[in-house]
Amino acid sequence: MKALWGRSVVDYLPSLVTWLAVIVYLVTAWGYNAEARLFPLMIGLLLFVLLPLDVLILAETAWGARLRATINPASVEPTSDSTEQHPLCSQIVALAYVFGFATLLVLIGVLPAIAIYVTASVRSLGRRNWPLSLTFGAVLTSFTYALFVVALDIPLYSGLLFDI
């Protein structure tokens, strides 16, 4: 298969096909009324920018490697000789966080679930101190509230326990 920037062209196809689908999505969303197209356009434009970045990150070039290391430090090859990069225990913990977040969403709603999940994951998985973890949780929760409730006037799910 033909190579481009040190990789097979096939490696770039998922991003490129998705990018073309995003263009169709944006053109379709543009036909909606102003209020209905706001959220689809925000998501579509974000993907329109990020998917070409994904293609650049895939490139096996010096700048592709720099982008990979900058945007996703976990993608850099480990220096140890260990063949097991992701032990089963860490995979189980990662899944437990996802299931825990989903459970929190259902039980207590979007905003408290985001606050708890972000704070807990930054603290335990990111190994950061409590003040920084709480700050991240508060900032992301505030941003979610400002975007959906204030800017878009979309009520957020309040959970089974608080939906009285």
Output the pLDDT for position 151. 87
- Average pLDDT score, the chain: 87
3-state secondary structure of 123: helix
Among 1-10, 104-113, 143-152, the minimum mean pLDDT is found in 1-10
Confidence of residue 138 (pLDDT cuts 50, 70, 90): very high
Structure tokens at 5: 């920037």
Tens-digit pLDDT profile for residues 44-81: 999 999 999 888 988 888 888 888 888 776 666 655 55
Residue 26's CB: how many other CB atoms inside 10 A? Answer: 17
Tens-digit pLDDT profile for residues 11-40: 899 999 999 999 999 999 999 988 888 888
- Cα(first)–Cα(last) distance of the chain, in Å? 59
Structure tokens at 34: 């102003």
Q: What is the distance between the alpha carbons of residues 56 and 112, in angstroms, rounded to a whole number?
A: 36
Q: Give the Å distances, CA to CA, from 96 to 138, 140, 141.
A: 22, 21, 21
The widest CA-to-CA distance across the chain, in whole angstroms, is 60
Q: Are 156 and 109 in contact (CB under 8 A)?
A: yes
Please indicate, yes or no, whether the overall pTM of this predicted structure exceeds 0.75.
no
Alpha helices in 31-162 (DSSP H): 34-58, 62-71, 88-108, 110-120, 130-144
| Region 126-137 average pLDDT | 92
Q: What is the distance between the alpha carbons of residues 39 and 53, in angstroms, rounded to a whole number?
A: 22
Structure tokens at 27: 């053109």
Domain ranges of the chain: 3-75, 88-151
